[in-house]
Amino acid sequence: MKTKITHYFGAVLLFLFSMSFYSCDVLQQLESNLPSESSQLTDVEIREGLTDALRVGLNNAVSQASVTDGFYKNNDIFVKFPVEAYKVREAALDFHLDGQVNKFEETLNRAAEKAAAEVKPVFMKALTEMTFADARGILRGDENAATEYFKRKTYNDLVQICYPKVESVTSEVQLTKQWEPIINVYNKARIITGDPEINPDLNDYVTKKTIDGLFFLIENEEKQIRKDPAKRVTEILKKVFGSV
């Protein structure tokens, strides 16, 4: 009888002992499947990653725009003859002033290229002012969320920076030498067409087109960084954007 009891208790102990090991294995397996604390991105890491990404994108965009032909030979951001005065252009071409029209448009683009070279400090300031909430919103936002952030933070400052530079360039190259002949021809044509007199602020027009062009390039850079792993040139960039 004692032998049976001994065997019985031995079997129970063996069962409990084996179950304790099985429970430990299960717990360890479950624990390994849970996300570790170290794998979670911190606010600091997100902001650092986005700062790296945006600095890269900004440098690329400004570099593209601020060189000779950066605007003039880029169809996406080329500064065209002002829409408000497009009939002036048509009239000038009708009177075979193609050379003056081309020179005029080239000058507009040269002014944009010079202005674009001055903007980097404005964008860098916006980077330093990015909050943790801004960073998380950008990371989880639309594919142009960072570009929209920059528009909100920098647009007015960009106007203040770009307008004087554009004005300086247009004055330096005596833009009126290209503008006045075209306007004179248009004014003669107005007698027949009855169109109203047009006198656009060219410097304001070029300033806005410069800023629009920069944001176009920045948005392209942002989309590439989000979609193309090869564009993530630092470890923190790979970690942050790889988590999205």
Condensed to tens digits (0 to 9), the pLDDT of residues 167-219 reads 998 888 777 666 777 777 777 777 777 776 666 578 888 999 999 999 999 99
Residues 6+ apart with CB under 8 A from 241: 49, 53, 225, 226, 229, 232
Domain boundaries of the chain, sorted by first residue: 45-242
The single-letter code of the amino acid at 74 is N
- Distance separating alpha carbons of residues 32 and 35, to the nearest angstrom: 8
pLDDT in tens, 7-28: 444 443 344 344 443 433 432 3
In this predicted structure, which of 12-21, 95-104, 127-136, 138-147 has the lowest mean pLDDT? 12-21
For residue 207 the two structure tokens come to: 């300033």
DSSP H helices in 173-234:
176-193, 202-227
**Is residue 101's pLDDT more than 50?**
yes
- Distance separating alpha carbons of residues 136 and 43, to the nearest angstrom: 8
- Distance separating alpha carbons of residues 159 and 46, to the nearest angstrom: 30
pLDDT in tens, 40-56: 778 888 888 888 878 88
> 244 pLDDT band (50/70/90 cuts)?
low
| CA distance from start to end of the chain | 68
